[in-house]
Amino acid sequence: MERFNRKKLLAMPIHIVTSRYGLPGLRELLAAEVEGFAPADREQIARALRLALLLHAQDQRVSEPYANHVLRVAIRIIRHYQVSDIDVVCAALLHDSVEDHDKDLATLATDAERARGSVEAALAVIERSFNPRVAALIRAVTNPAWDPARDKHTQYREHVAASLEHQPWARVVKLSDYTDNGVGLIHTEDEAMERRLAAKYAPLVPLMRELAARPDTPLSDEVKSYIDDQLATAAERFTAILAEDPGNRPAAATV
C-alpha cells in the first residue's frame, strides 16, 4: 500500500490530490481530515466509505473511478464548508448510493420493504445501517424517476428546488455535489458529455446561489461567500463550454 504524507495532503488542493494520487490519495486525505474526530464518529464515516466504495466499485466517470467524486464531495464539506456533522459527512459519501444502486441495496431489505419499491427499500437499509437523518438527507438529494413526456432538465431543476426548500442540511450536500460537478466539468476528456452536462447544470446556478445564501443554510458567512465564488466560476465555465462551436474544433489527426 502506498504511504502518504498526511501533512502534505492537507496542504494540497483536492483536485491536485485527485490528479496526482487518485482514489488512494483521496481516501488518505479523508482520513487526515477526520483524524481529530471522536473514534465513534470516525468509525461511522469509515462504514459509510466502505459501503460507498462497494456500491460504486465498478462505476466510472469518464477516466476516473466514480468513488473519487463522492470522496471529494465529503472532503469539501469538511475542509471548505467547515462541517463536522457526522450524519452530513456520511450522507455526502452515500449521496448517489440510492440513486445509482437502489436495487443493490434493496437486496439487503426485508420483503415488506422491497414491496414498497427498490428506492424505498434502499432508503430503509440506509436508515437501519446508519440512522433516519442520514436516510432523509440522501432521500432529499436522490433524483426521482423522470416523466418521459417532459423535459428531463426542467424536471431536474424542479426537483432540486422542491427537495431542498425545507432541507437546509441537504442543501450543504447538494452544494458540494453540484460544485464538484460544475467546477470540475471543464476537466473532462469527453467533450460531448461536457456540453450535455453543462446544458443540464448551467440553468441551476442562480438557484444554487440563492439556496447557499439563505439565512437558514447552516454555514458561516465566510463559507457562503466561498461557495458563491465557486458557483460563479462554475457559471463561467458552463458559458465557455456552451459557447464553443463543435464545428470549429480541429479535425482529428489521421494516420
Mean pLDDT of 224-250: 84
Domain-embedded: residue 135: yes
Return the pLDDT at 252: 41
Residues 132, 161 within the same domain: no
Domain-embedded: residue 232: yes
Residues 88, 179 within the same domain: no
Residues 7, 89 within the same domain: yes
Residues 148, 227 within the same domain: yes
Residues 107, 157 within the same domain: no
Which long-range contacts does 199-207 make (Cβ < 8 Å, 24+ apart)?
A: 199/153, 199/242, 200/153, 200/156, 201/234, 201/238, 202/235, 202/238, 202/239, 202/242, 203/153, 203/157, 204/156, 204/157, 204/160, 204/178, 205/231, 205/234, 205/235, 205/238, 207/157, 207/160, 207/161
Residues 44, 130 within the same domain: no
Domain-embedded: residue 55: yes
Return the pLDDT at 255: 30
Domain-embedded: residue 251: no
Q: Reply yes or no on whether the pLDDT at 248 is more than 70.
A: no
Domain-embedded: residue 27: yes
Domain-embedded: residue 198: yes
Residues 66, 85 within the same domain: yes
Residues 175, 199 within the same domain: yes
Mean pLDDT of 155-165: 95
Domain-embedded: residue 252: no
Which of 112-126, 142-156, 173-187 shows the lowest per-residue confidence on average (mean pLDDT)?
Answer: 173-187
Domain-embedded: residue 220: yes
Residues 137, 149 within the same domain: no
Work out how many domains the chain is built from and give that number: 3
Distance, in Å, from the CA atom of 124 to the CA atom of 136, rounded to the nearest integer, reads 10
Mean pLDDT of 175-192: 85
Residues 159, 107 within the same domain: no
Residues 166, 223 within the same domain: yes
Residues 209, 134 within the same domain: no
Return the pLDDT at 247: 55
Q: Which domain holds residue 224?
A: 144-245
